[in-house]
């Protein structure tokens, strides 16, 4: 079993930065890809960024050039560096992991990011 714990959210003003962390534990070698999703109040959850075990990254158009996803395999942690934050980035951010031979992905508990002037 894989468990995910997100951290690093908070309240910032537009233009500021945050770095989110997602620490994985359990059967970590069963993880084939990880990603960050976000869900604003009253809206659907959407993919923000993802990274495969091979290092291939994908970004939503809305965050390209501002957000960077990275990983530290030694620490079993995936990061989301968020720069030039905008009010529309306000959401609960969830870490996600796809597990080998498992159809349903694993989700973390979420961390709140609020961008407000």
The 3-state DSSP class for residue 30 equals helix
Query: What is the band of 1 on the pLDDT scale with cuts at 50, 70, 90?
Result: confident
- pLDDT attached to residue 6: 97
| Residue from 5, 1, 19 nearest 95 by CA | 5
Length of the chain: 117
Query: Is 74's pLDDT higher than 90?
Result: no
The number of helix segments (H) and strand segments (E) in the chain equals: 0, 11
- pLDDT attached to residue 19: 98
Strand order through the sheet with 2-7: 2-7, 18-26, 77-82, 67-72
- pLDDT attached to residue 106: 95
| Residue from 116, 92, 96 nearest 104 by CA | 96
């Amino acid at each position: 079993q894989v468990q995910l714990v997100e951290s690093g959210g908070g309240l910032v003003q537009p233009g500021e930065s945050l770095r989110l962390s997602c620490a994985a534990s359990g059967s970590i070698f069963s993880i084939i890809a990880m990603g960050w999703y976000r869900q604003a109040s009253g809206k659907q959850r959407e993919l923000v960024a993802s990274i495969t075990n091979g290092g291939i990254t994908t970004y939503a158009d809305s965050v390209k050039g501002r957000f960077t996803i990275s990983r530290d395999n030694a620490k079993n942690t995936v990061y989301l560096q968020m720069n030039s934050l905008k009010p529309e980035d306000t959401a609960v951010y969830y870490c996600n992991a796809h597990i080998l031979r498992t159809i349903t992905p694993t989700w973390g508990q979420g961390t709140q990011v609020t961008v407000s002037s």
